[in-house]
């Protein structure tokens, strides 16, 4: 599909996206008011896994300020069709070190730095290219075996070590807590985020607490999230995987 074809399809694919975004914004407004916060303090990210570019472009037209990409191969295929520069694109999926070179010039932040090994590899690649990359540390706040990330008790040491790595700018924390856990883990993340900020570690510029997805973004906002990551709530259910 060409760029022009994508643009022509934007309107026909976008009516539900617009409705969904309008509803989400109303919910966000209600949540921030209840928490005594301002709407401007919560960024809305559209998670674009498996979503066709024409639907993503509708979200951008509606003022969505950030896109979250989960897969290296997918962003490499779709980025040219987006009506967005790389400063609006973050990588939020699991990143293997051998894929760093493929992604590093296509995004403005990597939110899923889940180990010192990955941080060190990113730092080396940034040094080679004479560039800086904003990152978030991914926290496995529920200590789930199926998820990667730093455990709560590891975060402060990791932050101090990563803050010393050239080419990286640690901007905050990201998490995907256990499903249907209420506010328990969001509250833990808020405490951890504030603790990191209070340490005033040299080279650290913490401003982002990325948590809250389609099922729990209201609760995340109540617990201080500065960025919510919504896929299904914006674009609808993803198509079922085809059987092999």
69-96 confidence digits (pLDDT tens): 999 999 999 989 999 999 999 999 999 9
The pLDDT tens digits for 111-150 are 999 999 999 999 999 999 999 999 999 999 999 999 999 9
Residue in 172, 175, 173 with CA at minimum distance from that of residue 205: 172
Residue 203 has pLDDT above 80, yes or no: no
Residue in 152, 207, 208 with CA at minimum distance from that of residue 184: 152
With tokens 């760029």, the residue in question is 3
Tell whether pTM > 0.75: yes
- The mean pLDDT value for 88-109 works out to 96
Joined together, the tokens standing for residue 49 give 């896994």
Number of H helices, E strands in the chain: 10, 8
Instruction: Please give the DSSP secondary-structure letter assigned to residue 210.
Output: E
Distance CA 29, CA 25 (A): 6
Q: Percent of the chain beyond pLDDT 70?
A: 92
Residue 174 has pLDDT above 50, yes or no: yes
Q: Which helix (H) or strand (E) holds 15?
A: helix 15-34
pLDDT at 204: 79
- Domain definitions of the chain by residue range: 3-235
- The mean pLDDT value for 177-202 works out to 91
Confidence of residue 200 (pLDDT cuts 50, 70, 90): confident
The pLDDT tens digits for 5-48 are 555 544 555 789 999 999 999 999 999 999 999 999 999 999 99
Instruction: Please give the DSSP secondary-structure letter assigned to residue 207.
Output: -
Q: Percent of the chain beyond pLDDT 90?
A: 83
Give yes or no for a contact between 137 and 155, defined as CB atoms under 8 angstroms apart: yes
- The mean pLDDT value for 223-240 works out to 91
Q: CA separation (Å) from 135 to 30, 100, 113, 118?
A: 29, 13, 7, 11
Distance CA 47, CA 50 (A): 9
Confidence of residue 239 (pLDDT cuts 50, 70, 90): low
Give yes or no for a contact between 215 and 230, defined as CB atoms under 8 angstroms apart: no
CATH topology of domain 3-235: TIM Barrel (3.20.20)
């Amino acid at each position: 599909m060409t760029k022009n074809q994508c643009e022509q399809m934007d309107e026909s694919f976008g009516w539900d996206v617009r409705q969904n975004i309008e509803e989400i914004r109303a919910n966000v407004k209600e949540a921030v008011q209840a928490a005594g916060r301002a709407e401007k303090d919560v960024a809305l990210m559209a998670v674009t896994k498996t979503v066709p570019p024409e639907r993503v472009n509708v979200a951008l037209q509606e003022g969505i300020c950030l896109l979250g990409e989960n897969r290296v191969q997918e962003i490499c295929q779709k980025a040219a069709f987006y009506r967005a520069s790389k400063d609006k694109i973050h990588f939020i999926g699991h990143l293997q070190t051998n894929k760093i070179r493929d992604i590093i010039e296509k995004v403005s932040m990597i939110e899923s730095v889940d180990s010192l090994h990955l941080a060190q590899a990113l730092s080396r690649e940034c040094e080679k290219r004479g560039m800086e990359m904003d990152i978030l540390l991914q926290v496995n706040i529920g200590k789930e075996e199926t998820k990667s990330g730093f455990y709560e008790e590891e975060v402060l040491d990791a932050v101090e070590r990563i803050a010393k790595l050239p080419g990286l700018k640690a901007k905050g924390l990201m998490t995907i807590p256990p499903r249907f856990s209420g506010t328990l883990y969001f509250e833990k993340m808020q405490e951890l985020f504030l603790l990191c900020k209070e340490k005033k570690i040299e080279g650290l510029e913490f401003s982002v607490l990325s948590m809250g997805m389609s099922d729990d973004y209201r609760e995340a906002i109540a617990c201080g999230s500065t960025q919510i990551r919504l896929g299904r709530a914006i674009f609808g259910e993803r198509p079922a995987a085809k059987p092999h």
